[in-house]
Amino acid sequence: MANVTIHPARKVQGEISVPGDKSISHRALFLGALARGTTRITQGLDAADCRTTARALEDLGVEIRREKGAVLVEGRGGKFSKPQRELEMGNSGTTTRLLLGILAGQPFGATLKGDPSLSARPMGRVTEPLSAMGAQVGGPNGKDRLPLTIQGGALRGIRYALPVPSAQVKSALLLAGLFAQGPTTVVEPAVTRDHTERILKRFGADLAVEGTAVTVRPGAKLKGQDLRIPGDISSAAFFLAAAAIVPDSRVTVSGVGLNPTRTGFLELLKRMGAKIEMTCHDAVHEEWEPTGNVSVSFSPLAGIVVEKPFIPAVIDELPIFLTVATQAKGQTVVRGAGELRVKETDRIRSMVSGLTALGAKIRSEGETITVEGPTPLKGAGVDSLGDHRTAMALGVAGLAAQGPTTVRGSEWVEISFPGFFETLKGLARR
């Protein structure tokens, strides 16, 4: 296991770009594989989770190659080959759930397995509706946990109201819908990231969005595309947060994705009183993903309340948001954040224990997290608990602490952001 030691920063300063968006990179690989012709992906994320997707697709007969800084995917026109071995999902929930959707439409059986963290995460949310569409899914631990074997085939379109807001489940069903008889409609209880809708349109799918209902109709021919992936706003959030909590700081992240379903963290920072400047290069309503530059400068922050309907807009940024809340004046309350308990680790538990070790006043009860601030943090040993975003959120807390902070299990950042701690240290002035 690797450790990283973070020293307190006098200020955090600089302009950076961040690796490609993880959600969009996965989808670019999947859609490239589903389409006809070649898809050329530039600035895609090259990290463990996306490599898991690429490897699984290769096991399904997809040719993927690297050429002059681009990744080229040779589309199979929706028809894959039966894999010769079990498909390894590693730590990646997005790979697993989206791939289950695609495999539901394939006329062969395939088995998916994952690491211990992924094998403890709920899969029934996708396997139940896929079964309702006609796929056969099961495994030694039932339908809700990996390992799972899925036998796809003739699917029927369904109308399905998601019991929990989840872009992964929505995406799995829309991808399965490409192979179904008749339309498939997914109704969301709250808005979640819409990357699948955008990329399906870009590839030429027959897709309609009406309020909270998304409908895909089968039959359209998907065509390979040339895709440039924006920087990941969820990765940028760590550095923007650092600038928001360390006095005298200013950080700019350029070329970052500004899809409105992903910028919730910036809204929360603004509500707390952070100084944010944003320039968006493209119209946000365009079919592809809008990008731009975001700068955050330090200013004193105040605690806020985040209610349940807002949770999907900041689901991946909640760990770093809790770090920020320790430095805001007064009480910050996050309600309805139960989905955090079924991420790569129970992120309520991992963040409450890590920030408590650093001296923060933070507590949780069920789905509610309460933070009292501002607390002067004191450097200590903390643990990623095998979770990339916990490792990064605690690392940023270390910049605002007195004395050194050691993050155990720092190698988990490889899941979404190789080189994270080097970038963080490059911005920190001691």
Residue 127 binding ligand S3P, by CB under 6 A:
no
Backbone angles phi, psi at 149, to 5 degrees: -110, 130
In the complex, the smallest distance separating the C-beta of residue 286 from ligand S3P, rounded to whole angstroms, is: 20
Task: Report phi then psi at 2, rounded to 5.
Answer: -95, 150
Q: How many residues of this chain bind ligand S3P (CB under 6 A)?
A: 10
Q: Which is nearer to ligand S3P, 193 or 198 (CB)?
A: 193
Distances (CA, A) of 334 to 249, 304, 322, 366: 26, 8, 9, 11
Give CA–CA dist 331/48, Å, rounded.
37
By the rule CB under 6 A, 166 interacts with ligand S3P: yes
> Residue 41: CB partners within 8 Å, gap ≥ 6?
25, 28, 29, 32, 70, 71, 72, 73, 227, 229
At 241, which amino acid appears?
A
CA dihedral 23, 193, 245, 236 (to 10 degrees): 30
Smallest distance from the beta carbon of 27 to ligand S3P, in angstroms? Answer: 7
Nearer to ligand S3P, 165 or 409 (CB): 165
Q: Which one of 214, 315, 320, 401 is in contact with ligand S3P (CB under 6 A)? A: 315
Residues with catalytic roles: 316
> According to DSSP H, which parts of 134-232 are helical?
167-177, 195-203
Nearer to ligand S3P, 11 or 389 (CB): 389
Q: Which of 60, 104, 167, 178 binds ligand S3P (CB under 6 A)?
A: 167
Span near ligand S3P by CB under 6 A; candidates 104-112, 151-159, 160-168, 272-280: 160-168
Tell me which amino acid residue 140 is: P
Please, which residue, 4 or 415, has the CB nearer to ligand S3P? 415
Residue 255 neighbours by CB under 8 Å, 6+ apart? 17, 230, 231, 291, 292, 293
Segment near ligand S3P (CB under 6 A); pick from 81-89, 162-170, 253-261, 380-388: 162-170
Among 96, 168, 252, 350, binds ligand S3P (CB under 6 A): 168
From the list 383, 387, 315, the residue with the least C-alpha distance to 345 is: 387
Residue 330 Cβ vs ligand S3P, minimum distance, rounded to whole Å: 28
Q: How is residue 107 written in tokens?
A: 């006329």
Backbone torsions φ then ψ of 420, nearest 5 degrees? -55, -50
Token output for 5? 């030691």
**Binding test (CB under 6 A) with ligand S3P, winner from 25, 39, 91, 94:** 94
23 binds ligand S3P (CB under 6 A): yes
φ/ψ of residue 317, rounded to 5: -100, -5
Question: Which listed range, 38-46, 152-160, 161-169, 402-410, lies at the site for ligand S3P (CB under 6 A)?
Answer: 161-169
CB of 168 to ligand S3P, least distance (A): 3
Say which DSSP state 97 is in. Answer: H
Nearer residue to ligand S3P within complex by CB, 171 or 235:
171
Q: Tell the smallest beta-carbon distance from residue 22 to ligand S3P (Å).
A: 7
Residue 138, classified by CB atoms within 10 Å of its CB into exposed (0-12), middle (13-18) or buried (19+), is middle
Q: How far is the CB of 13 from ligand S3P (least distance, A)?
A: 29
Candidates 194, 289, 316, 414: give the one binding ligand S3P (CB under 6 A).
Answer: 316
Using CB under 6 A, list all residues that contact ligand S3P.
23, 94, 166-168, 171, 193, 315-316, 339
